[in-house]
Amino acid sequence: MTTPEWLTRPETRFGPCTCCGRRSKGDLVEKTLAGSSRLIRSAMFSADMAARDGFLQRTDARVKVVATVALLLVVALVHHVAVVIGLYAAVLVLGVVSRIPCRFLLTRVWCFVPLFTGVVVLPAAFSFVTPGHVVVPLGTWFGTPVGLTSQGLTTAALVVTRVATSISLVVLVTITTPWPRLLAALRALFVPRAFVVVLALAYRYLFDLLNTVTDMYEARKARAPRDHDVARSRAFVAATAGATFGKAHALSEEVYLAMVARGYAGQATAIDRGRIACADVYVFAAAVTIVVAAMGVDHVLH
Amino acid sequence: MHIPDGYLSPSTCAVAAGAMTPVWFTAGRRLRKVVTHRYAPLVALAAAYCFCVMMFNVPIPDGTTAHAIGGVLIAVLLGPWAAVVAVSVALAIQALFFGDGGVLAFGANALNMAFVMPFVGYGVYVSLAGRAPLQSRRRAVAAGAGAYVGLNAAALFAAVELGLQPALFHTANGTPLYAPFRLSQTIPALALAHLTVAGAVECALTIGVVTYLQRANVPLLRLNHRDVPLDDAEAHDRRLSENARRRGRGRVALLVFGIGALLTPIGLLAQGNAFGEDAPADLDLHRYHLQSVPNGLAHYAGFWHHALLAGYGFGHDAHPIFGYVVSAIVGMAAIAAVAFLLVALLGRARSRYGPRSGARSVPR
Amino acid sequence: MSSTEVFAVADVHYRYLERFVALAGVSLDVHAGERVGLLGANGCGKSTLLKVLAGLVHPDRGTVSGFGKELTEAALEDEQFARGFRARVGFVFQSSDAQLFSPTVRDEVAFGPLHLGFDGAEIEQRVDDVLALLGIAELADRAPYQLSGGEKKRVAIASVLVTNPDVLLFDEPTAALDPRTQHWLLDLVVELHRAGKTIVCATHDLASLDQVADRCIVLSENHDVVAIGPPQEILADVDLLEATNLVHTHEHRHRNGIHTHRHDLDHHRPSISANWEADELRTHSTERGTPTS
């Protein structure tokens, strides 16, 4: 092995290793790295929350899943904003008794619901989209008064509160339930076994693939500064996506062999532990009460 | 395009989940037949991969980035049935674990992104790629076009699901209970977003990955393209059977049929009434120089309304849009059934009176 | 065929993806209770050979039998044979990540017994025992991706030991482990051998060879067997080791000159100087540089 001559002298063409004040931001490499680390952090946060000793953490996952679906249905079925807000308050209380920081639940929802749902739904408040009784007139259009309608405002409020409540509920339940327990609950309830097995495997290897992607992007970052050429950047993203597929396929083959080596013959089984405790029955009863109460109040307001 | 909970009525969600159930069932059975015991690890890794694809930031010309879904990409790499399960699982993880996309709306999201998208996209891909060699540019472009069309088909479905809400679910004073926008608003809005930025991103990523694999890892492309020759030389060596050509024609027919079906909701945008689509009494008879509704037309209209759909509550224009959609589905199903029957009869006649030509390819 | 024969491999050929040659005419046998080391450089077919022994991949040509029965695809589709064989042969993969596919450590360790039809109470007992044996009881409810490399390897071994296999196949078990975990693992292998297990260990770690092997089988980069013998004999044959790329002649610059000597592939391992093989190798090194001051 002979070392080429250029490798033995220092490279001088790149200029000094000092700052010039120009910053590059919004790079796709940075964004993907940030997204991936956010995901892993959020998974770790969930694991921490699930390990706390709180009300929902003590509740059986099967009860939680059934109650969550029932509550989501109620949130979707009631017609009055007040009832939805009441249910939202109940979710926050559940969070507090489960020792989930209230700030987390609030920021998790209100940082992005107004941004996405709010902006999307806002035009619906106007008479152009939702005709009806104009409560905030904003002038006339060919003789008809236009502005915010009561129907429009109601529907916008209804959608925003519904979205916020549903997301809070799902987030609350998922972060108080360890993922394996949630899987066991799905298996125990109505979800086909094959689907749950695939779900479990997919979730487990998701982090492996994310690590692969992170490594590739970090290597890219370490090698060269941001590339402003869109076509070249796109080719890089496509190459990493293609290479990740190669890794995913090789891994699936290896995992299959590892499963077969330990007796897997196409029928997936898993250990099911835990039985419904007395407390879980009370929780379930409480959930049913909330469901019935919300529906009742909604009916009375009608 | 991930629809969160709160936008769709529970009944819409139930219908979507109901529509997906046989799809999932079929996908599971078909995959298990083809990949047997490898099913779980293979599909799981495909799902994890799909999740990763949704994380990739793809650069777009204005200097920012956007995300792709990858439904068509996986359909091209592993076949549409694998894509159904993989995208569904990726969506389930997002909904259950990361609060992205609704839990109740899971069926609807799966319908759009895990069924419509891979199947429409794959149909376009197969039709456009034809018998082009595996390493040809045409195949990569066909995959990109499939991704573009597939994504827009999914967006159109999402727009229809959302746009049906105010017409179907509102209170007595006209307050929409769920998504408030009408079809005439949701379809253009979603089409605008997906025909431009999102479609371009999906297309670019799919072409890019296929091109990369053509250069760097052809065995992976082979997974779903066993019979496709590698390059022109190999294509030349193979004598392509009559059988494959006949199937090609079937694919074109399927493509035309699919596009027609996708365009159906556009009818909902039309102002006023299309000739012949409404009750005969609505027709402006004088414009057509007719004195009265022709007897036959009146008779058949009555048959349609009273005998077939009256019992289901939408015979009397209670839900005109719902009626339109149901009619479209029933009509397409009827046409498909007739076509299927014809093809089956023809096939039987041919097998009885003539030898079957060409070797059968490996079933996929 | 002797009664103690566990595996018999005769003229096995295998091509990866039907294109890349991995094994080209390999023949060997493994007897009950012995420790066999498979030596060879990266890419010489060690991993593939282990997979052939484990009945996970099937040769294109040649035969392989396990416990006196030929390991064909058809034989392993027989439910009784498959169960018996899988329970008797444990395989510790090189990549722990591929092997740890379950949501938690407990599920992982229980996977084998569950699929081999053990009953519930026994599974619980065995899982607890093996977790305690390997000192990972406190990891039981953790997810595999949260573990360190050493912990993953322990869990992988636990998930194999739990079914009490007669034969253990290790694929480069000490690769990418820290020295402490490497020593722990080598001690475990010695312990398992003492308990009567048959051990086949693929490695290119010459330093620990005498601990994992009574007999070595050397694969060349042409994917065939070039030597079989006791570790001392193999390690003494430096020309063989060099021909199979297990050691290389290496030139590097010291402050006081250039010298050339042979290294085994793990020359950077801190524990190496304590092992006699390394010293043995160094005695073969030739000094070429001369001190300048």
Give per-residue pLDDT as tens, B180-218: 888 888 888 888 888 888 898 899 999 999 999 998 888
Residues B154 and B159: their CA atoms lie apart, in Å, by 9
ipTM over 0.90: no
Residue B48 to residue A208, Cβ atoms within 8 A: yes
Q: With 70 as the cut, is the pLDDT of residue A270 above it?
A: no
Distance from CA of A100 to the nearest CA of C (A): 21
Q: Which residue did the predictor score with more confidence, B160 or C19?
A: B160
Q: State the pLDDT at residue A154.
A: 87
Q: Which residue did the predictor score with more confidence, B230 or C152?
A: C152
Residues C62 and C74: their CA atoms lie apart, in Å, by 16
Backbone angles phi, psi at B170, to 5 degrees: -150, 160
Q: State the pLDDT at residue C35.
A: 93
Residues A11 and B67: their CA atoms lie apart, in Å, by 38
Average pLDDT, chain A: 83
Q: State the pLDDT at residue C76.
A: 86
Q: State the pLDDT at residue B19.
A: 93
Q: What's at A147, amino acid-wise? A: G
Report the residue of A2, A177, A271 to disrupt the C interface, i.e. the one with the largest count of C CBs within 10 Å: A271
> Taking a C-beta distance cutoff of 8 angstroms, is the pair C64, C71 a contact?
yes
Residue C83 to residue A203, Cβ atoms within 8 A: no
Residues A89 and A161: their CA atoms lie apart, in Å, by 11
Domain match, C211 and C137 both: yes
Residue A10 at interface with chain B, using a CB cutoff of 8 Å: no
Weakest-pLDDT range from A158-172, A282-296, B261-275: B261-275
Judge whether C290 lies within some domain.
no
Residues with Cβ within 8 Å of C240's Cβ and at least 6 positions away in sequence, in order, are: C218, C226, C227, C234
Query: C214: domain CATH number?
Result: 3.40.50.300
Weakest-pLDDT range from A133-137, A256-260, C197-201: A133-137
Domain match, C219 and C259 both: no
> Taking a C-beta distance cutoff of 8 angstroms, is the pair C31, C4 a contact?
yes
Q: Would you mind telling me the total number of residues written for chain C in this entry?
A: 293
Judge whether C293 lies within some domain.
no
Read off the pLDDT band of B156 (50, 70, 90): very high
Q: State the pLDDT at residue C109.
A: 92
Q: With 70 as the cut, is the pLDDT of residue B261 above it?
A: no
Residue where the block lists tokens 């000597």: C261
Q: State the pLDDT at residue B316.
A: 41
Judge whether C140 lies within some domain.
yes
Q: What is the DSSP letter of A62?
A: H
Q: Would you say the C-alpha torsion B277, B282, B283, B287 has a positive or negative sign?
A: negative
Q: Identify the closest residue of chain A to C102 by CA–CA distance.
A: A201
Residue B6 to residue A170, Cβ atoms within 8 A: no
Read off the pLDDT band of B124 (50, 70, 90): very high
Residue C103 to residue A257, Cβ atoms within 8 A: no
Domain match, C276 and C142 both: no
Judge whether C123 lies within some domain.
yes
Q: For B334-363, how does the pLDDT look when each residue is reduced to its tens digit (9 = 90+)?
A: 666 665 566 555 555 544 444 333 333 333
- The two three-digit tokens of residue C254, written as one number: 């010291």
Q: State the pLDDT at residue B80.
A: 93
Q: Which of B4, B44, B166 sits opposite A166 (nearest CB)?
A: B4
Q: With 50 as the cut, is the pLDDT of residue A282 above it?
A: yes
Weakest-pLDDT range from B104-108, B185-189, B303-307, C249-253: B303-307
Q: Which residue did the predictor score with more confidence, A284 or B352?
A: A284
Domain match, C147 and C269 both: no
> Taking a C-beta distance cutoff of 8 angstroms, is the pair B205, B70 a contact?
yes
Q: Which residues of A touch B179 (CB under 8 A)?
A: 159
- The two three-digit tokens of residue C240, written as one number: 């063989």
Domain boundaries defined on chain B = 1-238
Residue where the block lists tokens 């609505």: B282
Residue B176 at interface with chain A, using a CB cutoff of 8 Å: yes
Q: Which residues of A touch B98 (CB under 8 A)?
A: 39, 42
Class of residue A250 by CB neighbours under 10 A (exposed 0-12, middle 13-18, buried 19+): middle
Residues C56 and C71: their CA atoms lie apart, in Å, by 9
DSSP for B89-113 reads: HHHHHHHHHS--S-STTHHHHIIII
Q: Which residues of B touch A31 (CB under 8 A)?
A: 57, 65
Q: State the pLDDT at residue B338.
A: 63
Q: State the pLDDT at residue C14.
A: 93
Tally of domains in chain C: 2
For residue C10, give the nearest of C48, C56, C53, C51 by alpha carbon.
C53
- The two three-digit tokens of residue B339, written as one number: 């076509």
Judge whether C292 lies within some domain.
no
> Taking a C-beta distance cutoff of 8 angstroms, is the pair B147, B202 a contact?
yes
Report the residue of A115, A237, A264, A299 to disrupt the B interface, i.e. the one with the largest count of B CBs within 10 Å: A237
Residue C101 to residue A258, Cβ atoms within 8 A: yes
Weakest-pLDDT range from A131-140, A185-194, B265-274, C272-281: C272-281
> Taking a C-beta distance cutoff of 8 angstroms, is the pair C204, C216 a contact?
no
Domain match, C190 and C266 both: no
Q: Which of A130, A205, A259 sits opposite B45 (nearest CB)?
A: A205
Determine the Cα angle at B140 with ends B135 and B146, to 5°: 145
DSSP for A242-268 reads: HHHHHHHHHHHHHHHHHHHHTT--S--
Class of domain B1-238: mainly alpha
Residue A130 to residue B171, Cβ atoms within 8 A: no
Domain match, C207 and C276 both: no
Domain match, C259 and C197 both: no
Read off the pLDDT band of B46 (50, 70, 90): very high
Domain match, C116 and C205 both: yes
Q: State the pLDDT at residue B300.
A: 47
Q: State the pLDDT at residue C85.
A: 92
Domain match, C168 and C268 both: no
Domain match, C142 and C254 both: no
Q: Which residues of C touch A179 (CB under 8 A)?
A: 103, 143
Report chain C residues touching chain A, CB-CB < 8 A.
51, 54, 56-57, 79, 82-83, 86-87, 89-91, 93, 95, 97-104, 106-107, 110-112, 114-116, 120, 123, 141, 143-146, 159-160, 163
> Taking a C-beta distance cutoff of 8 angstroms, is the pair B191, B149 a contact?
no
Residue A38 at interface with chain C, using a CB cutoff of 8 Å: no
Report the residue of A41, A199, A262, A264 to disrupt the C interface, i.e. the one with the largest count of C CBs within 10 Å: A262
Give the domain extent around C184. Answer: 5-243
Report the residue of C79, C85, C97 to disrupt the A interface, i.e. the one with the largest count of A CBs within 10 Å: C97
pLDDT in tens, chain C (293 residues): 445 889 999 999 998 877 789 999 999 999 999 999 999 888 888 999 999 999 988 999 999 999 989 999 888 888 888 888 999 999 999 888 888 888 889 988 998 898 888 888 899 999 999 999 998 999 988 888 778 888 999 999 999 999 999 999 999 998 878 888 889 999 999 999 999 999 999 988 888 888 889 999 999 989 999 999 999 888 888 888 888 888 876 655 556 666 666 655 444 443 333 343 444 444 444 344 434 33
Domain match, C226 and C279 both: no
Judge whether C289 lies within some domain.
no
Q: State the pLDDT at residue C282.
A: 41
Q: With 60 as the cut, is the pLDDT of residue B275 above it?
A: no
Residue B178 at interface with chain A, using a CB cutoff of 8 Å: yes
For residue A237, give the nearest of B202, B56, B143 by alpha carbon.
B56
Class of residue B181 by CB neighbours under 10 A (exposed 0-12, middle 13-18, buried 19+): buried
Domain match, C124 and C235 both: yes
Judge whether C167 lies within some domain.
yes
Average pLDDT, chain C: 82
Backbone angles phi, psi at A141, to 5 degrees: -135, 110
Judge whether C261 lies within some domain.
yes
Distance from CA of B166 to the nearest CA of A (A): 9
Q: State the pLDDT at residue B279.
A: 46
Backbone angles phi, psi at C101, to 5 degrees: -105, -5
Q: What's at B60, amino acid-wise? A: I
- The two three-digit tokens of residue C151, written as one number: 């912990």
| Count of A-C CB contacts under 8 Å | 89
- The two three-digit tokens of residue C189, written as one number: 């292998």
